[in-house]
């Protein structure tokens, strides 16, 4: 019995180390991709479809997150887990698509003027800031939920869920605001 508990604790420590590493490496990699002087040549213009796809993915993730909240309020754990797993997978797909796009395409400048310009930049900057820190609590919350550590999951979700929801919603809003200025 003691050996199993020791093994479980060692496994959890490894998972936590991976979560911390991923939570640091991904935002750093995204920052490097955004600011690297030369973009990766992918051979065609297909990457210019990705921002549109990303908006659809973020919209679907928002729906999955809201469904997850609804189901947990109804005490339907099975559907809650399914909804949150869908949101998690959509987030992973979004991240890959986002990295590919920003590795291959130049960033688009916002062309709006007047009062909408500061609104756009406040949304963009808060979106970026929360997206950069979101991965850490999201991964831990998902891990605690997946491993049925409900008390730890509940405590962390109080912070992780609103951040995640804000990032998915503002991602779509920022996309809608900048989409008229895409070159392709």
pLDDT tier at 7, thresholds 50, 70, 90:
low
pLDDT for 10-21, tens place per residue? 788 888 889 989
Fold of 2-181: 1.20.120
What was the pLDDT predicted at 8?
58
Domain boundary assignment for the chain = 2-181
Q: What is the pTM of this model?
A: 0.87
Give Cβ neighbours of residue 176 (< 8 Å, ≥ 6 apart): 55
Average pLDDT value for residue range 26-32 = 85
pLDDT for 39-57, tens place per residue? 777 777 888 899 999 999 9
Kindly report each contact of residues 106-112 with a partner whose C-beta sits within 8 Å and lies 24 or more positions away, as own/partner: 106/39, 107/34, 108/178, 108/181, 108/182, 108/183, 109/181, 110/177, 110/178, 110/181, 111/180, 111/181, 112/177
């Amino acid at each position: 019995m003691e050996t199993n508990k020791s093994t479980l604790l060692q496994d959890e420590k490894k998972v936590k180390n991976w979560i911390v590493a991923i939570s640091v490496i991904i935002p750093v990699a995204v920052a490097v991709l955004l600011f690297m002087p030369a973009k990766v040549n992918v051979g065609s213009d297909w990457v210019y479809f990705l921002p549109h796809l990303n908006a659809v993915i973020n919209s679907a993730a928002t729906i999955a997150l809201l469904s997850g909240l609804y189901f947990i309020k109804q005490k339907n754990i099975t559907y809650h887990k399914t909804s949150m797993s869908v949101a998690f997978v959509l987030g992973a797909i979004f991240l890959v698509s986002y990295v590919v796009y920003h590795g291959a395409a130049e960033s688009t400048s916002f062309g709006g003027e007047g009062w909408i310009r500061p609104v756009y930049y406040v949304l963009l900057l808060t979106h970026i800031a929360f997206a950069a820190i979101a991965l850490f609590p999201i991964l831990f919350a998902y891990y605690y939920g997946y491993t049925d550590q409900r008390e730890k999951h509940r405590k962390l979700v109080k912070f992780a869920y609103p951040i995640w929801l804000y990032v998915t919603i503002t991602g779509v809003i920022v996309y809608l605001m900048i989409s008229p200025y895409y070159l392709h």
